[in-house]
Amino acid sequence: MIYYIKLMLLVVFMTSPVVAAESGQYRAPVAKIQGHHSIKAKNPTRKAAKRIVKTSDKFNQITEYIEKIWFNNKWRNYTKGTRHYNENDQLVEEYIYDWNSDDSVWVSFGKYEYAYNDKNNLQEMTYMFWQDSTYTNFDKTLFTYDSSSGVLLEQLFSRWVDGEWLKDWKEIYQFDPDGLETGGAYYEWRYGEWQIYTEWKNTHHDSTRLLIKWQSIDFIEGDTLNAYKDTLIYDNGILADEILQQWVNDRWLNSDRWLDTYDEAGNHTEDVHQIWENNQWRHYQKWSRTFDEDGLLTDELFEIYRGSDWQSSHKWTFYYDNEQSRIRQPADEHRAPEQFKLTNYPNPFNAQTTIAFRLKKTSPTMLKIYDIRGSLVKTLLRSENLNAGIHEIRWNGRDSQSKAVPTGIYLYRLQAGPHIIIGKCSLIR
């Protein structure tokens, strides 16, 4: 499914044109930056160490969570959420608080309300922010499902403006009889009607190969134009090779490639990013990981390919508390990136979460979701050149094959240029 990037202003960003398309020179993907709304991302301190303290009821449902950050050799409060459930054990309200360090009190920040249909599917999600001692509507998402299979068919996003809900954008999804997504489209509400901006088509080839063909719409001429194509190749159900191509001068040109390696336990031990230059694949970046006997990530090394050899850039070592909550500690702390800040909300989440980050300068940016074992779940951004500013991207809790992932802890890794930062989110079904 298409990802969403939200900024204060609506702007379509195109990367630099191909200098020599006929020679197959690398071309960065095209990113569309959409102006839905401008909640500011909270700014963690320089060290990215975090922990979440959770309180559960007798039914093992989380009723409160407090996110703490490690600062000046001490755990300090950062954000808090309280959750309320109905008689069917469904999450219906979630209150978000910020920690006011000056007064040492929690202050209201926002609130989510959830409503469900008669089949217990999430039907409506409303976000409200705290303003002038009351909660004020901000945005709302409506979900429509197939009455027989229960698969999600549409998401409709609206904004609260001048006392009424205004349509903003929507996505529709298409599925085959086996429940696999075959395509979809993204629309924006313009001049009193829905106008298509992007559509995509998925072609599935048994369990080992998935071909995704994206198409974009030229609003000026009204023509449908190919944009890019993503081919995913699986080995025994595990993603092993991913090739991204772009449509240039009426033909597909290679752009990026990702080679993934796993150990016998299924841990994602290596991720090599290649780019297409001079009619061949060239090494670009590499992530190498080590895991302990419990399958928990202990070290991650980021390298850049220069000349004819890999050169180390950053290394991270990960530590865990007794509850296996991870505390991230860069091994080379003096080089810890300050280029961007990262957070996500709500956290924990049920239907979807928003990953928010701020770039201090324009950078090629990647964002990927991993499970706690380090296996790639979904790629949300692929080396896309984003402007400086606040960006927000939604993840709907589904993997690269549009299948809902199970309850658990997931990691999101943001890379802007050579800098990498990792966050953690909890999905609760």
Flag whether pLDDT at 256 surpasses 70.
yes
Name the nearest CA neighbour of 50 among 421, 427, 429. 421
Q: Which residue has the higher pLDDT, 372 or 90?
A: 90
The amino acid sitting at 337 is P
Q: Name 353's Cβ contacts closer than 8 Å, sequence gap at least 6.
A: 344, 345, 346, 347, 394, 395, 397, 425, 427
Flag whether pLDDT at 270 surpasses 90.
yes
Q: For a pLDDT cut of 70, what percent of the chain falls above it?
A: 75
Q: Where do the structural domains in the chain lie, given as residue ranges? A: 11-427
pLDDT for res 195: 86
Confidence of residue 113 (pLDDT cuts 50, 70, 90): very high
Flag whether pLDDT at 144 surpasses 90.
yes
3-class DSSP assignment, residue 298? strand
pLDDT for res 133: 92
- Inter-residue long-range contacts of 229-234, CB under 8 Å, 24+ positions, other chains counted: 232/400, 233/208, 233/209, 234/207, 234/208, 234/209, 234/210
Task: Give the separation between CA 130 and CA 132, rounded to whole angstroms.
Answer: 7
Interval 156-171 mean pLDDT: 90
pLDDT for res 340: 46
| Residue in this structure with the two tokens 């009619």, named with its chain if needed | 279
pLDDT for res 414: 85
pLDDT for res 259: 92
Mean pLDDT over each residue of the chain, to the nearest integer? 75
Flag whether pLDDT at 82 surpasses 90.
yes
Question: For 279-320, how does the pLDDT look when each residue is reduced to its tens digit (9 = 90+)?
Answer: 999 998 888 999 988 888 888 888 889 888 999 877 877 766
Find the range with the poorest average confidence among 54-58, 100-104, 309-313.
54-58
Flag whether pLDDT at 45 surpasses 60.
no
Q: Write phi, then psi, for 235 (nearest 5 degrees).
A: -125, 110
Flag whether pLDDT at 199 surpasses 90.
no
pLDDT for res 385: 72
To the question of pTM greater than 0.75 for the whole model, the response is no
Question: For 1-43, how does the pLDDT look when each residue is reduced to its tens digit (9 = 90+)?
Answer: 333 332 222 222 222 222 222 222 222 222 222 222 222 233 3
